[in-house]
Amino acid sequence: MTPALFILDARAFDRIYGAEGHAEVARRTALLADPLTRDAAKARPELLRAAEVIFSGWGAPVMDAAFLAGAPRLRAVFYGAGSIRYFATEALWARDIAVTSAQAVNAIPVSEYTLATILFSLKRGWQHALLARRGPEGFKRLPMPGGFRSRVGLVSLGAIGRLVAERLRPFDVEIIAHDPFVTAAQAAQLGVRLASLPEVFAESDVVSLHSPWLKETEGMITGDLVDVLKPGATLINTARGALVREDELAAVLARRPDLTAVLDVTWPEPPAAGSPLYTLPNVVLTPHIAGSMDRECRRLGQAMIDEFDRWQRGEPLKWRIVREQAAFMA
């Protein structure tokens, strides 16, 4: 059987794999030890030397040249979480070690949160709920786009953006999107019309952000873009707070009470004490809950166990990430 290790934070192991996932992996591999944190693995070099497979998640060790020198037999990494950017290095790609991630699986709860938020936003539900708290004088109906022939704008069509587009298909809405890496033919297959970033903001009733946080995307959502949103429009961010120039966003929202921002992510996170995002009446904050939470995390671990089964059978990996992909992923 294949010698294997779990290396990740203790809390991450409980959330992603737990006793059930541990038992499943133990049935399939020759587990060399109980789950280890990265510091514990560093203190047990004999285990790393023997391992051919690592199951991981949040708290994975940085797999640089020094780490890999101590893992001469390593052939595959099954990462039961999202971004691999913090641990995947050029040395890892150079060794041609198979790296697979649950990032696409983590897109499922994010797309569910986003779908629910989009549909509620088309009814301007957030503003209706907030106004109603003022008492009878706030208990009134506002003009709203509604769910018939409205337009939803998606910024980026990565794994999450594509899944959101698919989930929107049964509804009577038009979907437009901005993504410079997607062709018109690919967009057509998704039922999406491509547009420039300013067009997405100017034409949409709801705009939802799904771009990765890269140097090129940092601060890409400016106050000027937000200011061209249609009256009563909503901006949703489940991607990364650093995409948005939040000081400019706050200034526009203060001037335009007709707009709503639903922010599941901010930068910093949570917002600094005294941030206007806490007090603006047209901002809805949630504490980064769109991704996998609680029981949903076990889906990530199961996806990696299924991926190991494919790897062991010599089948193509469903969620494998290669060097070229990694450069453009969150």
The residues carrying an active-site annotation are 240, 269, 288
- Report yes or no: 35 and 8 within 8 Å, Cβ to Cβ: yes
Classify the C-alpha dihedral 185-188-192-195 as positive or negative.
Answer: positive
> What is the DSSP secondary-structure string of 221-288?
B-HHHHHTSPTT-EEEE-S-GGGB-HHHHHHHHHH-TT-EEEES--SSSSPPTT-GGGT-TTEEE--S
Phi-psi region of 117 (alpha: psi -120 to 50; beta: other; left: phi over 0): alpha
Helices 297-313, 18-28: inter-axial angle, 10-degree rounding: 0
Residue 161 CB coordination number (10 Å): 28
Burial of 216 (0-12, 13-18, 19+ CB in 10 A): exposed
Which residues touch 77 (CB under 8 Å, ≥6 apart)?
Answer: 53, 54, 56, 60, 63, 92, 97, 98, 99, 100
Instruction: Characterize the bridge pairing of strands 193-194 and 234-237.
Output: unpaired
Which residues make beta-bridge pairs with 101? 79
CA–CA separation, 132 vs 218, rounded Å?
Answer: 36
Determine the number of helices (DSSP H) and then strands (DSSP E) in the chain. Answer: 15, 12
CA–CA separation, 217 vs 297, rounded Å?
Answer: 28
Which residues make beta-bridge pairs with 206? 152, 234
